[in-house]
Amino acid sequence: MRIGIVSPYSFDVPGGVQNHVLDLAEALIGLGHSVSVLAPADDDARLPPYVVPAGRAMQIPYNGSVARIAFGPISSARVRRWLARGEFDVLHVHEPLTLSLSMLAVLSSDGPVVATFHTAMPRSRLLDTFESFRRITLERITSRIAVSALARKVQVEHLDGGAVEIPNGVSVARFASAEPLPGWPGEGGAIGFLGRFTEARKGFPVLRDAFVALAGVRPGLRLLVAGPGDPDDVMEGVPPALRERVVFIGKVSEEDKARMLRSVDVYVAPNTGGESFGMILTEAMAAGTTVVASDIDAFRRVLDGGRAGRLVPVGDAKALARALGALLDDPAGRAALSACGREAVARYDWPVVAREVLEVYATAIEATDGRVVDVEWAPPRTG
Amino acid sequence: MVGVVALVVLLATYLTWTATRVDRLHARAASAARSLDAHLLRRAAAAAVLAEERLVTELYSAARIALDAGADEREAAENDLTRQLRAVPLPAAEPAADAVVAASRRLALARQVHTDVVRDTLSARGRPLVRMLRLGRRHEQPAYFEIDDPTLAVTATPVPTPAQD
């Protein structure tokens, strides 16, 4: 199958959508398909061979933050050229409701179009002003995919349409084979956390309190923290005597993330809510690390109701400390949980997820009888 | 004068564009309906094969009825087939059961695509301009295909003898 994939965001800024697009493209290529990915990038940017640059992304203030997107006549011309040359059997765009290459591609094509919605809130204020613009974009999409139950709910309730739920994939082999960081996990045990620890909903203080309680009675226990932020914020509330046992490695690359997850005995996700999927849990399970997570809907689903990882009450540092203490003393129990975790994560392995996506492609192709062609499009007038 | 000409051209462009849009939606609704029909037949055929292998009479007749159903009784017949399929164990290791599960999954996808395009088409037909100029009159009004979610769960452990009720 000839597949054209469009990424709305540039690959020089790492992000969930970008990783998803690259991993999906590689999984599809691995299954023997021909894939071309269009993304905002300079012509001389270093990119994987299957990525076609669509020109530099502009930085524009957008929904309260800065977005790097490509949108305009030059981008539009590049999109049409890519569509005309690609002769794709199916076009797969990501986040088409942002002003981006994805939207341009949807508007410039006719034929089977599959769209993946990543965030739970894909609406932009700008688009809300141009309701008809949004409707015309959605109208050209044959089949919608949502990466989580929450993203699907938004589709049903706010964009009046159904969507197939296909979860984010994880490259199990890459995580399973990563080398632990030198000297980790060590004799006294190691606990890990990755994420924006300053964000309240990530629940880092709960883990910190639990660690402080445990470290007092367990002399060798260490905490490995990764994520963007200031080291002082990590150490806040940690007694000076324990500070050398809290190791902060800052923001990590994809490769170091896998190594970091392999470096700890237990990975903790103390989130207090607001998670739609729990990608990091699938990654920790793929790395073969035992997972302890807050008992919230998304995590319960990923951890198979607690079979593939221990669930603890939300925001309860004492309960978390008890669960961690019990697991640190029980290597056999940890091994059993991580074995279940590996089994549960097989369902999220990229080749498995990519086959589900291929079924959606096949359905979209059958339902439109025809391949993707580029078309002239006139911007709609309101009225 | 130039302004009037420009206005007329703009209006004509908009009307052509809207008419094309309405035509395209109807064409897509029709081809989505054909694809849905094909997947309904595939599922019923896969269910008939499974019923023959297992000698489950109720399932076999439900599959036959679904295959032969006329337009007005088809939704009920398909729902009945879904109910019959939910009552039998479907271990992934058994090829005929796996084929039924796969056909049901594809049917769920085809139905979703159909529902989405029917909704978009009906909404386009309902717009004032389209109604006023009767742009939809050349096309038959598409209709939803109202059935329960046909997705089936795979039976986790193989069941030695099929339960029959």
**pLDDT one-digit tens code per residue, A108-150:** 888 899 999 887 654 555 556 667 777 888 888 999 998 877 7
β-pairing, A373-374 vs A51-53, is: unpaired
How far apart CA A175 and CA A342 sit, in angstroms, is 11
pLDDT top residue among A130 and B159: A130
Q: What is the SS3 assignment for A155? A: helix
The mean pLDDT of chain B is 85
Among A139, A141, A352, A375, most B C-beta atoms within 10 A, so best to mutate, is: A139
Residue of A110, A139, A364 with shortest CB distance to B120: A139
Query: How remote is the C-alpha of A43 from its chain's centroid?
Result: 26
The mean pLDDT of chain A is 83
- What the block records as the tokens of A263 is 């470096």
- Percent of all residues in chain B with a pLDDT value above 70, rounded to a whole number: 93
pLDDT at A383: 35
How far apart CA A58 and CA A43 sit, in angstroms, is 14
CB contacts of B105 in chain A (<8 Å) are 359
How far apart CA A69 and CA A124 sit, in angstroms, is 14
CB contacts of B34 in chain A (<8 Å) are 369
How far apart CA A73 and CA A86 sit, in angstroms, is 20
pTM listed for this prediction = 0.82
Question: Closest residue of A to B110, CA-based?
Answer: A363
pLDDT at A58: 67
**Listed ranges A35-39, A66-70, A106-110, A379-383; the one with the highest mean pLDDT:** A35-39
Contact state of B114 with A367 under an 8 Å Cβ cutoff: yes
Among B40, B114, B116, most A C-beta atoms within 10 A, so best to mutate, is: B116
Q: Is B144 on the interface with A (CB under 8 A)?
A: no
Closest C-alpha among A240, A238, A287 to residue A267: A287
> Which tens digit of pLDDT belongs to each residue from A314-363?
888 888 888 888 888 888 988 998 898 888 898 899 999 999 999 999 99
Arithmetic mean of pLDDT, B50-63: 87
CA of B55, closest CA in chain A: separation in Å? 30
* ipTM > 0.90 for the complex: no
Query: What is the C-alpha end-to-end distance of chain B, expressed in Å?
Result: 80
Arithmetic mean of pLDDT, B72-98: 88
Q: Is the dihedral of CA A189, A194, A197, A203 positive or negative?
A: negative
How far apart CA B103 and CA B116 sit, in angstroms, is 20
Closest C-alpha among A373, A150, A90, A109 to residue A279: A150
- What the block records as the tokens of A282 is 């699938």
Q: Is the pLDDT of residue B161 over 70?
A: no
Contact state of B112 with A381 under an 8 Å Cβ cutoff: no
Contact state of A142 with B113 under an 8 Å Cβ cutoff: yes
CA of A228, closest CA in chain B: separation in Å? 40
Structure confidence at residue A283 as a pLDDT band (50, 70, 90): very high
Q: Is the pLDDT of residue B155 over 80?
A: no
pLDDT top residue among A220 and A61: A220
